[in-house]
Amino acid sequence: MSHRHKDLESPRKRIDEIDEQILDLLSERGDIVRDVIKRKVENQLPVFVPAREEEKSKAFKDLAKTKGIDPDWAEDFLRMIMTASRATQSQETFPIATESPKHILFVGGEGGMGKLYKRIADQSGHETYSIDKKNWHELEEISPKLDMVIVTVPINVTESVIERLSGRLKKETILADFTSNKSNPIDAMLAAHNGPVVGLHPMHGPDVQNLSKQLMVFCNARDGENAKWFMEQCELWGMRVIEADPQKHDHVMHLVQGLRHFVALLHGSFMEEFDLKPTDMLDYSSPIYRAELMMTGRIFAQDAELYADIVFANKERRDLLLKFFEHHKKLVKMVEQNDREGFIKEFEGVTDFFGKFATQALTESGYLINRLADRFA
């Protein structure tokens, strides 16, 4: 070993000792978190408390400044720790929003979303049931005690499954669904059931580690106040809950889901057509293209039928895609005519439309891109 390397031995050893101390402190913090979890459950307090996290983050950043540490880096570090704390919560018992357990049936409970919510409802102390094709006959026996029925099946069979529930639920039972479009399923539920009806849309997939900070969209169709306890339960799970009009929800989802997923197919299909292999693209990609390629690639790691159901959910969504292609033709002409000025004019018009959001997007995407480059470069 050279003399210069020997000079590094002592400081490196000290760094290793400090790193071990950090892990010891994180372990100790984890023990305290588990105690906090126990107290939250006993006092029916939510997993995620935004005000507490923001207050803690600000204080931590201010403290980092006084110690000569980059405050933004310190905030990232703290938020990773808090995320891990919430993940620990997901392995434990959750607080319950009601004085006594509710009886909740998941129709399609063996699917990804059904399993996820059934498990978390179980962990909260509710009585849960699952019905699929093989045990549909059990509905008659459990129906009289059900407080809520959540239909969580593929979009293309949702309405037919709802029809099968017609006349088989007591009037007080809340009928709900988890599909990503709301208008048609809500109409089907209103026709099939004369009691409370709500449309629910969990804005995440079944692979999330926990529900903390996830979004639940709540559409009141009939007597939605009867389902207030479920909204409160979602908040205790750490979710954000927003109320929405079904038509407005669907209009936004046409863009958020239908168009976005179809554009991903266009991207992937084009790569296949011209033999642009993802591994080759990564070798020459910038961090921002890597992020875009990952967002495209993750879709093709999932079920084709699921995305077909999302893209072809209804006529309105298909009509929007056709309008997208018509708009696309206008932009194609710019390329055909080598219309650089037309491109700039279109670009500046979109810039004006995006307004201040463009600056926000630049900041937030920069954060994601930098973290992606640090982790996977």
pTM across the whole model? 0.78
CA 126 to CA 159: how far, in whole Å?
Answer: 27
Model pLDDT, residue 209: 77
Could you tell me which CATH number the domain at 3-89 has? 1.20.59.10
Could you tell me which CATH number the domain at 103-244 has? 3.40.50.720
* HEC assignment per residue over the chain: CCHHHHHHHHHHHHHHHHHHHHHHHHHHHHHHHHHHHHHHHHCCCCCCCHHHHHHHHHHHHHHHHHCCCCHHHHHHHHHHHHHHHHHHHCCCCCCCCCCCCCEEEEECCCCHHHHHHHHHHHHCCCEEEEECHHHHHHHHHHHHHCCEEEECCCHHHHHHHHHHCCCCCCCCCEEEECCCCCHHHHHHHHHHCCCCEEEEEECCCCCCCCCCCCEEEEEEEECHHHHHHHHHHHHHCCCEEEECCHHHHHHHHHHHHHHHHHHHHHHHHHHHHCCCCHHHHHHCCCHHHHHHHHHHHHHCCCCHHHHHHHHCCCHHHHHHHHHHHHHHHHHHHHHHCCCHHHHHHHHHHHHHHHCHHHHHHHHHHHHHHHHHHHHHC
Name the nearest CA neighbour of 182 among 248, 232, 111.
Answer: 248
Query: Would you state the structure tokens that stand for residue 188, as one six-digit string?
Result: 């089907």
Give yes or no for a contact between 43 and 65, defined as CB atoms under 8 angstroms apart.
no
Model pLDDT, residue 38: 81
Query: Would you state the structure tokens that stand for residue 318, as one six-digit string?
Result: 């298909």
pLDDT tens track for 212-257: 889 999 999 999 999 999 999 999 998 999 999 999 998 888 877 8
CA 185 to CA 201: how far, in whole Å?
Answer: 11
pLDDT tens track for 314-328: 888 888 889 989 998
Model pLDDT, residue 224: 92
Per-residue pLDDT of the chain (377 residues; tens, 9 = 90+): 566 667 788 888 999 999 999 999 999 998 898 888 788 878 878 777 788 888 999 999 999 999 999 998 899 899 889 888 777 766 667 889 999 999 999 999 999 999 999 999 999 999 999 999 899 999 999 999 999 999 999 888 999 999 999 999 999 999 999 998 899 999 999 999 999 999 999 999 898 878 888 999 999 999 999 999 999 999 999 899 999 999 999 888 887 788 888 889 999 999 999 999 998 888 888 888 888 888 899 889 988 988 888 888 788 888 888 998 999 898 999 999 999 999 999 999 999 999 999 999 999 888 888 877 777 76
Model pLDDT, residue 186: 97
Vertex 234: Cα angle to 365 and 181 (nearest 5): 70
Name the nearest CA neighbour of 182 among 213, 219, 148.
Answer: 219
